[in-house]
Amino acid sequence: MTTALLEQRVTLKQGGGGRAMRGLIEKLFVHDFAALPFDGVGVAAMDDGAAIRFGDEWLVLTTDSHVIHPIFFPGGDIGRLSICGTVNDLAMMGATRVVGLTCGVILEEGFPIDSLEAIQRSMVAACREASAPVITGDTKVMGRGEIDGIVINTAGIGLTRNLIRDNGLKPGDRIIVTGFIGEHGLAVMAKRHGIEFEGDLTSDVAPLNSLIAPLVATTTITAMKDPTRGGVASALHEMASKSGVGIILDESAIPVTPAVRSIGEMLGIDPLHVANEGKALLGVREADVDDVLAVLRSNLLGRNAAVIGTCVSERPGSIILDTGFGRRLVAEPDGEPLPRIC
Amino acid sequence: MTTALLEQRVTLKQGGGGRAMRGLIEKLFVHDFAALPFDGVGVAAMDDGAAIRFGDEWLVLTTDSHVIHPIFFPGGDIGRLSICGTVNDLAMMGATRVVGLTCGVILEEGFPIDSLEAIQRSMVAACREASAPVITGDTKVMGRGEIDGIVINTAGIGLTRNLIRDNGLKPGDRIIVTGFIGEHGLAVMAKRHGIEFEGDLTSDVAPLNSLIAPLVATTTITAMKDPTRGGVASALHEMASKSGVGIILDESAIPVTPAVRSIGEMLGIDPLHVANEGKALLGVREADVDDVLAVLRSNLLGRNAAVIGTCVSERPGSIILDTGFGRRLVAEPDGEPLPRIC
C-alpha cells in the first residue's frame, strides 16, 4: 500500500542518457508532442534532431542544454562544449552546412565576470573552428543557490541534401568509430574527483562537421550517431534497436588510449559506457568501408578511425562484444556513471 | 585601490530586461558573436530573433530560457510560458508560420513527476493553440540544490515574406498596444508575495501569432516588439533608440485594468515597467491605424487594442509621458522590479 502513496520524483539517472532517461522522455514528452501535426522527422524519431523538407534540401533543427560540472575541464569548458554539442548533432543528421546557432545563457547571481569572459572566448573560438555563427541569444540570471553557476542551451539549424538517420543499419553493415573513445567522460570524472594522472587525459570535445560533411556528399552512410551521454554502448543500443539489427563488436579493434584504459580500470568504469564529445559512430556498407576510412583518416579528427563491428540479423537490438576469447552481451546502461557530464 | 581588487560578478539586475542587462549582453556577447561571418539579421541587431533569406522568404530563428518562479502562477505556468515566449518572438519578427519548436528541459533531482506532467500538458495545449509543434528536445537532470526545480529553454523557427524589425519607427508613426498592460508581472508578483486580491489578476500569457500574422500580410507595420521583461517602458526605449525617434505616450490612452492599477499602486510599481507575455507594441503609419485596429480588435487577444503614442523627431531614444497635466520623461528601467518573471 505504501508504494501507492510515494510521490514519483525525477531521479539523477533519468538525465544520464541511458534506458532510464529514454523511459522518462518517451513516457512524458514524446507521446504528446508526437501527436501534434507536423510533416517531417519529429520527436517520435528520437533522433539527434528534427528535419523538415525545404525544396530539394532538408532543414535540420536540434537543441542541447549544457549543465556540465566542472565548467572548466581538461581539454575544454562549457562554452566549447555548448557549441560543439549542437554542431555535432546537426552533423549527425547529415547537415553539410550550419546556418546558425542560438545561445541561451542562464547565470547565477555572483558568477564571476572573468569566467564568463573566458567561456565566451571559448564559444567564439569554437564557432570559428566549426564555421558556425551564433546568430541570436538570450540571457537570464537566477538568484544565489538557484542554479549552480552557469547553464548554456544552444539550438542550431543546418541544411543537407542527404538526411542521415540513426535507424538505417542493415545486416552486413560495418560500424566505424571516428577515433579513441571515453576521453571526455573520464577526463571530467578525473577532474571532478581530483585524480592526479600522469600523461594525457583530456576531453575530445570538438566540432565534427568538417569531418563528416565530406562523407555525406560522396559516400553512403546508413546510420550515424555521436556517442555522448551513455557512451558508445548507449548509442549503439539505440541504433541497433531502431534499425532492428544486432551488432557484434570486436573488442580488440575499439580504439582506447592507455590513459583511458587505466583511469577506467582505476574507477571501475568501462570506456564503452562513457561520454564522448568529438566522436561519431557510422554505419557503412561493406563495399564503402575503405572509401569512408580514407576520407575520415585524411582529417586530424578522424585519423584514428577504425572498423569496430558488424551488423547481424540475429538478436535485434543487442550489442555483442567479441573479446577474442568468447562473446558477451553489452548491457544497455541505465544511465551515465556520472551526472552532469555534458 | 580597493575597487580594482573587487572581482566583477553578475548581478540579478543584469537579468532584468533593462539597461543593466543590455550592458552585460552588449559588452560580453554581442561584440564577439557579431564578428562571425553571417549574412542576415544576426546578434548585432539585438532584435527578438535572427533572420536569414531563404528564396523569397525569411527564415526566423529565436530562443528563450524560462526560469520563472513560481512555476505555476495565476493564468499559466512555465510550460505555457515557454511555448508562448518563443512563438511570440517569432511573431514579433513577422513570422506568419511556425515551422517548429525545440524544448530543452532541465530538471532538479526529486522534481515531482505529477508537476512535470502538468507542465507537459500545458505545453502541448499551448502548442495546439499556436499551431506550433515541438519537433525536437533535450532533457537534463541536475542534483538537488543545483537548480531550482525546472528551467525550460525553447527555440523556434518560422517563415515570413515580410520581415518586421524593431527599428523602423519614423516620426509621425503611431504606437499601438494590443491590450491591457502589466498583467503578467503583477500576477506573478502578487502570487510570489502571497498578496490576496479581490477580482481578476491573471497573467496574459498567450500565443500572439494568430493575432499578428493577418496584419503582416495586409498592412504595413514599421516596427514591432513584445513588452516582456522591463515592460512597455523598456521595449519602447529600445524601439525608439534603435529607430532614432522620440515617443510621446498619452497616459490616458494606455489600457490598464483596475486590478493592475491598484496592485501596482499597492506595491509602488508602475505597470509601464512590468512584464507582459501576451501583448505586442506596433509602430503603424497614421494612414494605416484604422485598418490595423480593426484587424486587431476582430481577435479576442486584441479586442482592447489602443493607440497609445506618437513618434516624433525630437529627443530620439526618449519616451515622454503626456499625463494630461504636463509631460515627464519615462526613465529606461535598469532592470525588472522582480527577478525570474519569465
User: Closest residue of B to A41, CA-based?
Assistant: B135
Taking a contact as any Cβ pair under 8 Å apart, which residues of chain B between 52 and 81 contact chain A? Answer: 52, 54-55, 59, 61-65, 67, 69
Say whether pLDDT at B19 is over 50.
yes
pLDDT of residue A122: 98
Chain B residues lying within 8 Å of A28, measured CB to CB? 113, 116-117, 120
Scanning B8-96, the segments in alpha helix (DSSP H) are 19-25, 31-34, 78-92
Say whether pLDDT at A7 is over 80.
no
Say whether pLDDT at A1 is over 60.
no
Say whether pLDDT at B216 is over 70.
yes
Distance between A32 CA and the closest CA of chain B, angstroms: 7
pLDDT of residue B3: 45
pLDDT of residue A28: 81
Say whether pLDDT at B259 is over 80.
yes
Task: Tell me how many residue pairs between chain A and chain B have CB atoms under 8 A apart.
Answer: 287
User: Closest residue of A to B153, CA-based?
Assistant: A153
pLDDT of residue A2: 43
Distance between A321 CA and the closest CA of chain B, angstroms: 29
pLDDT of residue B184: 97
User: Which has the minimum average pLDDT: A192-206, A322-336, B67-81?
Assistant: A192-206
| Percentage of chain A lying above the pLDDT 70 cut | 98
Average pLDDT value for chain B: 94
B194 touches chain A (CB under 8 A): no
User: Closest residue of A to B51, CA-based?
Assistant: A135
If you average pLDDT over residues A78-90, what whole number do you get?
Answer: 98
pLDDT of residue A188: 94
Number of H-type helices and E-type strands within chain B? 10, 14
Average pLDDT value for chain A: 94
Position A336 confidence tier, pLDDT thresholds 50, 70, 90: confident
Chain B residues lying within 8 Å of A52, measured CB to CB? 99-100, 135
Please tell me which of the candidates A11, A141, A153 has its beta carbon nearest to residue B104. A153
How many residues does the structure list for chain B? 342
> Cβ–Cβ of A62/B136 closer than 8 Å?
yes
Write out pLDDT tens, residues B218-244. Answer: 889 999 999 999 999 999 999 999 999
Strand (E) or helix (H) holding B59 = strand B57-66
Distance between B308 CA and the closest CA of chain A, angstroms: 28
Please tell me which of the candidates B116, B137, B138 has its beta carbon nearest to residue A10. B116
Say whether pLDDT at B273 is over 70.
yes
In which residue are the cell numbers 566540432 written? A207
- Alpha carbons A198 and A4: distance in angstroms, whole number: 51
Can you give the pTM of this predicted structure? 0.96
| Percentage of chain A lying above the pLDDT 90 cut | 84
User: Which has the minimum average pLDDT: A106-120, A328-342, B126-140?
Assistant: A328-342
User: Closest residue of A to B144, CA-based?
Assistant: A12
Cα-based distances in Å from A222 to A92, A226, B141: 11, 14, 32
Chain A residues lying within 8 Å of B135, measured CB to CB? 33, 38, 40, 42-43, 50, 52, 61
B329 touches chain A (CB under 8 A): no
A105 touches chain B (CB under 8 A): yes
Taking a contact as any Cβ pair under 8 Å apart, which residues of chain A between 149 and 178 contact chain B? Answer: 151, 153, 155, 157
pLDDT of residue A4: 46
Taking a contact as any Cβ pair under 8 Å apart, which residues of chain A between 107 and 126 contact chain B? Answer: 107-114, 116-117, 120-121, 123-124
Cα-based distances in Å from A277 to A12, A18, B139, B207, B321: 20, 16, 17, 36, 54
Write out pLDDT tens, residues A31-73. Answer: 899 999 999 999 999 999 999 999 999 999 999 999 999 999 9
B339 touches chain A (CB under 8 A): yes
Please tell me which of the candidates A123, A135, A339 has its beta carbon nearest to residue B38. A135
**Interface with A, mutate which of B138, B148, B165 (most A CBs under 10 A):** B138
Position B198 confidence tier, pLDDT thresholds 50, 70, 90: low
A135 touches chain B (CB under 8 A): yes
> Cβ–Cβ of A151/B146 closer than 8 Å?
no
Say whether pLDDT at B4 is over 70.
no
Write out pLDDT tens, residues A169-193. Answer: 999 999 999 999 999 999 999 998 8
If you average pLDDT over residues B129-137, what whole number do you get?
Answer: 97
Strand order in the sheet with A246-250: A221-225, A281-284, A174-177, A306-312, A246-250, A319-322, A327-330
pLDDT of residue A23: 82
Q: Which of A120, A57, A124, A51 is nearest to A89 (CA)?
A: A51
Which cell goes with B184? 503578467
- Alpha carbons A301 and A305: distance in angstroms, whole number: 9
**Interface with A, mutate which of B25, B134, B140 (most A CBs under 10 A):** B140
Evaluate whether A39 touches A23 at the Cβ level (below 8 Å).
no
> Cβ–Cβ of B340/A147 closer than 8 Å?
no
- CA B265-B267-B272 angle, 5° bins: 65
B214 touches chain A (CB under 8 A): no
> Cβ–Cβ of B14/A141 closer than 8 Å?
yes
Q: Which of A260, A122, A256 is nearest to A185 (CA)?
A: A260
pLDDT of residue B6: 58
pLDDT of residue B293: 98
DSSP string for residues in B101-121: EEEEEEEETT-BHHHHHHHHH
Q: What is the largest CA-CA distance in chain B?
A: 63
If you average pLDDT over residues B157-183, what whole number do you get?
Answer: 98
Pairing of strands B150-160, A97-108: unpaired
If you average pLDDT over residues A267-276, what whole number do you get?
Answer: 94
Strand order in the sheet with B319-322: B221-225, B281-284, B174-177, B306-312, B246-250, B319-322, B327-330
Write out pLDDT tens, residues B22-36. Answer: 888 888 888 899 999
If you average pLDDT over residues B300-317, what whole number do you get?
Answer: 98
Chain A residues lying within 8 Å of B13, measured CB to CB? 141
pLDDT of residue A198: 67
Say whether pLDDT at A3 is over 70.
no
Domains of chain A: 8-160 (3.30.1330.10), 174-329 (3.90.650.10)
Q: Which of B124, B259, B272 is nearest to B195 (CA)?
A: B259
Say how far residue B317 (Cα) sits from the centre of its chain: 19
